Amino acid sequence: MATVRLVHLKAALQWHGGTSSPPPPWSLFRLRSGAFRAFSSTMSPPSKAVVYDEQGPPDTVCKVKELPPVPIKEQDACVRMLASPINPSDINRIEGVYPVRPPVPAVGGYEGVGEVHAVGSAVKGLSPGDWVIPSPPTSGTWQTYVVKEQSLWHRIDKSTPMEYAATITVNPLTALRMLEDFVDLRSGDAVVQNGATSMVGQCIIQLARVRGIRSINIIRDRAGSDEVKQTLKKLGGDEVFIESQLEVKNVKSLLADIPEPALGFNCVGGNAASLVLKFLKRGGTMVTYGGMSKKPITVSTSSFIFKDLSLRGFWLQKWMSSEKAKECREMIDYLLSLTRSGELKYDMELCPFDQFPTALDKALGKLGSQPKQVIKF
Would you please indicate which residues are annotated as catalytic (active-site) residues? 98
- 307-336: contacts with ligand NAP (CB under 6 A): 314-316
In angstroms, what is the minimal distance from the CB of 260 to ligand NAP?
24
| Stretch binding ligand NAP (CB under 6 A), from 137-145, 196-204, 256-264, 298-306 | 196-204
Candidates 75, 285, 293, 358; binder of ligand NAP (CB under 6 A) is 293
Signed CA dihedral, 160, 165, 171, 172: sign only: positive
Which helix (H) or strand (E) segment holds residue 133: the answer is: strand 131-134
Q: Which residues contact 351 (CB under 8 A, 6 or more apart)?
A: 358, 359, 362, 373, 374, 375, 376
With binding defined as CB under 6 A, does residue 108 bind ligand NAP?
Answer: no
With binding defined as CB under 6 A, does residue 241 bind ligand NAP?
Answer: no
In angstroms, what is the minimal distance from the CB of 287 to ligand NAP?
9
Q: Cβ of 319: how many Cβ atoms within 10 Å?
A: 17
Residue 375 exposure: Cα atoms within 13 Å on the Cβ side: 31
For residue 85, give the 3-state DSSP assignment: strand
**What φ, ψ does residue 115 adopt, rounded to 5°?**
-115, 135
Q: Which residues contact 350 (CB under 8 A, 6 or more apart)?
A: 83, 163, 374, 376
With binding defined as CB under 6 A, does residue 365 bind ligand NAP?
Answer: yes
With binding defined as CB under 6 A, does residue 285 bind ligand NAP?
Answer: no
In angstroms, what is the minimal distance from the CB of 97 to ligand NAP?
11
Give the whole-angstrom CA distance, residue 171 versus residue 345.
12
Residue 363 exposure: Cα atoms within 13 Å on the Cβ side: 28
| Position closest to ligand NAP via CB | 290
For residue 7, give the 3-state DSSP assignment: helix
In angstroms, what is the minimal distance from the CB of 68 to ligand NAP?
32
- 257-276: contacts with ligand NAP (CB under 6 A): 267-268
In angstroms, what is the minimal distance from the CB of 348 to ligand NAP?
9
Q: Residue 297 corresponds to which amino acid?
A: I
Candidates 11, 199, 246, 286; binder of ligand NAP (CB under 6 A) is 199
With binding defined as CB under 6 A, does residue 118 bind ligand NAP?
Answer: no
Give the whole-angstrom CA distance, residue 58 versus residue 246.
35
Closest CA to 363 of 348, 342, 353, 343: 348
| Stretch binding ligand NAP (CB under 6 A), from 48-56, 116-124, 152-160, 166-174 | 166-174
Candidates 87, 141, 160, 266; binder of ligand NAP (CB under 6 A) is 87
Q: Which residues bind ligand NAP (CB under 6 A)?
A: 87-89, 170-171, 174, 195, 197-200, 219-220, 222, 267-268, 289-290, 292-293, 314-316, 365, 369, 372
